[in-house]
Structure 1
Amino acid sequence: MCGSLHKSPDANIGAIKNVLSSTDVEILQKNEEMGEENVPKNTWQKFWKALEVPHEDKPLSVLRNPDLEPILATQRTWGFWSFFAYWGLPNFAVATFSTGSALLALDLNIQQSIGSLVIANVLIAGFTILNSNPGIKFHIGYTLSQRMIFGIYGSFIGIIIRVGLSVVLYAYQAWLGGLCMNMVFDSFSQNYLNMKNTFPDSVPMAKKDLIGFLCFQLIQMPFSFVRPRHVNIPSIVTCFMTLFSVIGMMAYLIHSNGGPGPLYHTKVLLSSSQRSWMWLYSMTIWYSGVSPAVANQSDYSRFSSGSLSCYLGLFIGTVLPGTFVSLAGMLCASACKGLYGSAYWTPNEIVEEWLNTNYTSKARAASFFIGVSFTGSQLFLNLTQNGYACGMDLAGIFPRYINITRGTLFVQLISWVVQPWTFFNTSSSFLNVMSSFGVFVTPIMTLSIIDFYWVRKAKITLIDFFTISKKGAYWYDFGFNWRSISCLLLGIVLGLPGLAYESQADHKANTAMMNYYYGYMFFIPLVTGSLYCGITYIFPAHHEKMCQVDPLDFFRCFSGAERQKLGMLPFGEASICEYIEAEDPQEGWQKTTVEHEKGK
């Protein structure tokens, strides 16, 4: 009698033993034990049981919840425009518009700054494409990839780094979002535009700024309950709205000024050597702002409906808007310098100048549309790259009690503790050291690429992500992969002296360490990657499942074509009845199925 395998992926082990190795069977049994539902026996246990995330009939354990499992085929709906928008969002944003203030401060002119950005954007797109395939091919996110690289327990290192960056960057982007909200409110009322600050001088913010920040935070919160894959459409809309706003601002300012302004004609007085290092540093500064998104690209590439649409969308979304918006911001600031005597680097400064000069219906309409556009881009940028990302990471640390929604709400609430207003309104060195964020995630990105392509030959097993069995492919030594962890620590440590010099400008800097810091976008991958290749060559991680895939589609996440390409059988389908072991085990497992119509 043939029976259907319709339960959870850890069930019906006896029916599939014939196609699995003894290691696979042990791992499945361990996973099943970890996911067993325990009936609470006292009030304390009932309390913790009530706090568990909703999981319906899916397994829940210390390593697993529904948000961590590979994405199903029906949920992979992102195409070209979705990835264009996802990578367009960090470009159609206030930080990118004002990038020129940091680059021109390096004594480069506009033309040379744009040249460095073009090169940086192409390289960033290349890094991102390489880091996309764990998500595209195996439909897993950043959190699971950390278990592959650093081990089941070692993965907490990479996850905690990303959580820390998410909290800080979420607060930073939310504060900028509040400034964008104020453009909308300014268009409603001249009294709001000229609101007096009633806070004492010891408080490093204005009353008006606090209102904008509070309103922006309140608008973001309901989106915590929206699944990340569903924000692609509004992201596309806000990208194009912001594009039209940027074009309109640039056209108006250049036309009113009669040209691009004085900053455009600035001469570069640096020596050829200094110029080379400043080019390198300008590329690193730009890369740093998007480096966390590059590292955790698999969180969103797993939503891809096809690899080509993902690659093209992210490449064009990175290169074109990243170059154009930065150029537009520099030209607007240059034109403002000619028109108003000051170079305004953010949209809200430009809009306030217009409204204070002449509070007309035309200026108010411009303020409203520009404010809505930039508020939208800040909103979905912050959600996708910081809010949801933090939720995914926290779900990897506390799977029983945190899912993406709860994790996103957490980062929204905790972002107040960061006090982002101090970044902008005090002598805080935060804005000066933002270019250092990539120091922490670039080694992770490098290790991920090398481990996936070189060590594992782009083949990984999925059931091993959710087990603490010592026979699991990602157990390594006591749950830690010392090879990758040591390379990660070295990559970070080498960048710390430059970070210290950048934050403490009064200290005399070591030239070699500063140059390393200026070009860490290139040097960290070179050092970390070379060391990891050498260590894994000398001390390879031996495992019987290395460079293999699961024999069965345990999570039912692959399409028929994908299973055929991977040499994998479906699992849990009503038509699958029997698995027969090959007579000669040395030739591998021969998998045959006896199919029956459903209902028979």
Structure 2
Amino acid sequence: MESQEKQSRTQYWAKRLECPVDEDAGYHNTFWCNRDLIPIPPSRQTWTWQGYAGYWVIAGINTTAWTSGSSLLSLGLSVPQAMGVMVGVSLISALIAVLAGWPGSHQHLGFTVLCRASWGMRGGFWPVINRIMTAIIWLGIQMYWGGQAIKIILGAVIGPKFVFWRNTLPAGANVDTASLVSFFVFLVVFLPCLMVPPERLQMPFRVTFVMITLTMFGILGWAIGTNGGPGPLLHTPATAKGSALSWPALFGLQSIVGSQASGCLGQSDWTRYAKTPNAALFGQLVAAPIMICVTAVCGLLITSATAEIYGVYLWNPFELLLHVQQTSLTADCRAGTFFAGLGFLCSQLALCIVLNCVSAGMDLAALCPKWINIRRGGYFISIIAIAICPWQYVSKPSTFITVLSGWSVFLSPMTGIVVSDYFLVRRRNYHLGDLYTGNRSSAYYYWHGFNWRGFTAWIMGIWPTLPGFARSIQEVSNNNGWDHIYQITYFYGFFSALLIYWALHTFFPVPKQTGSSPFELAEHVQMLYSAEGDSQREVETIEAERLKVDV
């Protein structure tokens, strides 16, 4: 009797904790489906071209683009050569974003569901898990920099007592007291933001777009005006020639493109909210390349000018503002750093949501759709990102950062597979209902839920790059053949996986490989009810059992 009571209570709470379902919805929470995984209905297709332009301004003005000049100059390039590489980065990133985002804007499906077509209904969990792992680390790092923005703001408001707050933490903590306090203050600001659904984020993003743009150009004007010019860094010559320059330049190009890999891979997670099929194109083809290039140029100019002012090269904008406060705390300085910190705070809030929480939240929803949606997944990811103590990876660089930076070795073939599947294999059509059917009747069930073609293409896209990847981690590269393959890892992985996947589906086709069928919600519900039993009867039974237990 006691075991029956416990079982009844478990069933009751399992039902109560299921993800919300829209009123009069034609779908049902199952192992494959919930509100955030189905094709986005017209009522939630709210994003216009202005929203996507703001998205790419926020994604373009980040520390990766800001500090890219430092990375390229360290490889031996001159400033004009570095800027040429950044132009290439921006154009390639824009093109990949368009290709990866096209299924979202036209089929209103996210990357998580698209993987089921190319990897299989069960095999699709593999790329999802990969993306969750990278999102956890990058979210933690972005939250840490958000904490640094809070530290700048508090330093401007409180003054010397906070800026020079004595550190009470041991050296092994790799974080000071003020930074740790600021990190948790950022969490208090950030976590409530996850309550806002993606379709309602356009207005907050527009505000952030204005603030971060004004912040970047404000710092640029101050740096050049205070120094009386851009400084000598712009005249730095190249320190290498011939192949000693061309291979590092190519490596720099693909490395920075690879740093955008996760965002480009998950473009469909955002383009599926597009109000019109082409709403995202202006942001992807115009705003994205312009902002990536402009941010890199501004980073170079600001660093060059402030190097003459303070006598040290500070490529990271957060470190620059903190250094300014430690050098001078006049009223003008405090006001300037306050507004700059506020701009970067808004930017970090948006970046945490744009690049990590929404995509990773949907990935987690795919693992357990009945009980996890984007919002719950975002909170779950945030908790893990806090638990890993992200300041350990920022304050104390290690081999782990090298591994994380080279993660495009694994992500670039996944991007190639998604693009190949949609454009070349499926010819831009899907059997939508089959993407939510986890049995042999689905066109995407393949062999026990796994598509061996996708796994084969992915393995062929990564294995030649692994020796060079390992050698770069061990710092024993000597420019041999394996090293050169690794230096073009993103391009090799993308194109090799794309072509191999297409070839395998051409020579080993599957039933219903092409063609389309709509996601008929009424038929979907009927199918689910026949497979799972009458849902209403189940609810009534659970409620009756609960009443018995209470009595």
Q: TM-score, normalised by structure 1?
A: 0.83
Residue type of the partner of 1:323?
C
Residue 571 of structure 1, CA deviation: 11
Question: Where does structure 1 differ by over 6 angstroms across 4 or more consecutive aligned residues?
Answer: none
Partner of 1:538: 507
Larger Rg: 1
Q: Distance in 2 between matches of 1:571 and 1:390?
A: 26
Gaps of 5+ in 2: 1-5, 526-551
Contact kept, 8 Å, 1:174 with 1:382, in 2: the verdict is yes
Contact kept, 8 Å, 2:433 with 2:519, in 1: the verdict is no
Residue 41 of structure 1, CA deviation: 6.2
Of 240-249 and 472-481, deviating more is 240-249
Partner of 1:511: 480
Instruction: Indicate how the Cα distance of structure 1 residues 113 and 510 shifts in structure 2: closer, same or farther if over 3 A, else same.
Output: closer
Matched, 1:157 2:126: yes
Q: Distance in 1 between matches of 2:319 and 2:485?
A: 35
Contact kept, 8 Å, 1:284 with 1:435, in 2: the verdict is no
Which structure's residues are more often helix, by fraction?
2
Contact kept, 8 Å, 1:228 with 1:384, in 2: the verdict is no
Of 183-192 and 305-314, deviating more is 305-314
From 55, 64, 76, the equivalent of 1:107 is 76
Matched, 1:383 2:334: no
Q: CA RMSD in A?
A: 2.0
Partner of 1:584: none
Residue type of the partner of 2:385?
S
Matched, 1:123 2:95: no
Instruction: Indicate how the Cα distance of structure 1 residues 434 and 107 shifts in structure 2: closer, same or farther if over 3 A, else same.
Output: farther
Contact kept, 8 Å, 2:471 with 2:477, in 1: the verdict is yes
Residue 411 of structure 1, CA deviation: 0.8
Matched, 1:358 2:358: no
Residue 427 of structure 1, CA deviation: 4.0
Partner of 1:554: 520
Contact kept, 8 Å, 2:92 with 2:257, in 1: the verdict is no
Partner of 1:64: 33
Residue type of the partner of 2:258?
S
Q: How does 1:514-529 map to 2 (within 5 A)?
A: 514-529=483-498
From 327, 334, 343, the equivalent of 2:304 is 334
| 1:321-359 C-alpha deviation (Å, 9 max, x unpaired) | 101111111111111222211011122322233333331
Residue 280 of structure 1, CA deviation: 1.1
Q: TM-score, normalised by structure 2?
A: 0.90
| 1:500-554 C-alpha deviation (Å, 9 max, x unpaired) | 222221x35562222122212221122212222222222122x1x332221x551
Residue type of the partner of 1:414?
I
How many residue pairs end up in the alignment? Answer: 517
Residue 219 of structure 1, CA deviation: 1.3
Q: How does 1:368-517 map to 2 (within 5 A)?
A: 368-505=338-475, 507-509=476-478, 511-517=480-486
Residue 555 of structure 1, CA deviation: 3.9
Q: Distance in 2 between matches of 1:529 and 1:466?
A: 25
Q: Distance in 2 between matches of 1:488 and 1:201?
A: 42
Partner of 1:18: none
Gaps of 5+ in 1: 1-39, 557-569, 573-600
Matched, 1:274 2:244: yes
Q: Distance in 2 between matches of 1:427 and 1:320?
A: 30
Q: Distance in 2 between matches of 1:174 and 1:494?
A: 34
SS in 1 for 2:278: helix
SS in 2 for 1:308: coil
Q: Distance in 2 between matches of 1:110 and 1:156?
A: 43
Matched, 1:184 2:153: yes
Matched, 1:54 2:20: yes
| 1:423-443 C-alpha deviation (Å, 9 max, x unpaired) | 222241344344312222111
Matched, 1:44 2:10: yes
Contact kept, 8 Å, 2:325 with 2:334, in 1: the verdict is yes
Residue type of the partner of 1:305?
K
SS in 2 for 1:202: helix
From 137, 146, 156, the equivalent of 1:168 is 137
Q: How does 1:218-237 map to 2 (within 5 A)?
A: 218-237=188-207
Q: Distance in 1 between matches of 2:281 and 2:397?
A: 41
Q: Distance in 1 between matches of 2:394 and 2:28?
A: 45
Of 260-269 and 458-467, deviating more is 260-269
Identity of aligned residues (%): 28
| 1:179-226 C-alpha deviation (Å, 9 max, x unpaired) | 111111111122111111111122111111111211112211112211
Q: Distance in 2 between matches of 1:88 and 1:548?
A: 37
Instruction: Indicate how the Cα distance of structure 1 residues 323 and 43 shifts in structure 2: closer, same or farther if over 3 A, else same.
Output: same
Partner of 1:585: none
Contact kept, 8 Å, 2:156 with 2:334, in 1: the verdict is yes
Matched, 1:295 2:265: yes
SS in 2 for 1:205: coil
SS in 1 for 2:502: helix
| 1:395-435 C-alpha deviation (Å, 9 max, x unpaired) | 01111111111100001100023221112222413443443
SS in 1 for 2:60: coil
| 1:472-518 C-alpha deviation (Å, 9 max, x unpaired) | 1101111110001111123233333233222221x355622221222
| 1:106-134 C-alpha deviation (Å, 9 max, x unpaired) | 12122211110111111111111111221
Q: How does 1:579-594 map to 2 (within 5 A)?
A: none
